[in-house]
Structure 1
Amino acid sequence: MEIILEKLKRFESTLDIENIKKEIPEAEILGYGEISTVFALGDDYAYKRLPIFKSKEDADKYGELYKKYNSSLQELEIFVPENNYYTIKGRNGIYVSYLSQSKLNPNSICHKIVSKANV
């Protein structure tokens, strides 16, 4: 866990999506939205960056809800990939939550299946 946390701190401190490969060669952007970025760091996990928290407590509360949500799905016997969360102090006084989960086969993701469907 400590190695992952150090990689995430490095990612956060050098965050420049356009030039991320220069700073962190193993980084791969998998997708991004209005406030989040999904990326890989050369391991078997995907990470989602959520830079929206004004305090560590708020970020950690969100992370605990993420873990509880995943546990609830597992209790219902729904497959949930291995997952975790990390909180890092980011720029401008914000706290960033990084949600992680083990990568899935890219061909099993819904939008890829739909795009290949002969509908």
Structure 2
Amino acid sequence: MRIAALVLVALPVFAQEQEEVVQRALIERDQRTGEFAARVRGAPLVERQQLENAAARQQLEVRIDPPPELRPYERRKVAREMEAFFLTLPPPVVSIDVLPALQPKGPQPLLDSR
């Protein structure tokens, strides 16, 4: 009976620790996504340094033990700060090349109705 009670008391503690790890991992993943996007689009060194500084500041600002109701807010706040560094691509340009052999040459003869 004591063991069962101890297990029931310990479960929320383990769940809370896991939740903190998950929240930090999500923030770190968002930061890495922003850094990757900056590298892919060939961002200048100054912009990449700003991104790294923002990531370092965010890691310092993240509370060690925020209340559970503020965790999603902190993730959204970090995501908003990182939005300036996300990869944005122009829409794709579609061009259709028709082979010269397939292009019509002059007026087409009408079919004989014989």
Q: TM-score, normalised by structure 2?
A: 0.31
More helix per residue: 2
Query: Which structure's relative contact order is higher, taking Cα pairs within 8 Å and 6+ residues apart?
Result: 2
More strand per residue: 1
Whose radius of gyration is greater, 1 or 2? 2
Q: TM-score, normalised by structure 1?
A: 0.30
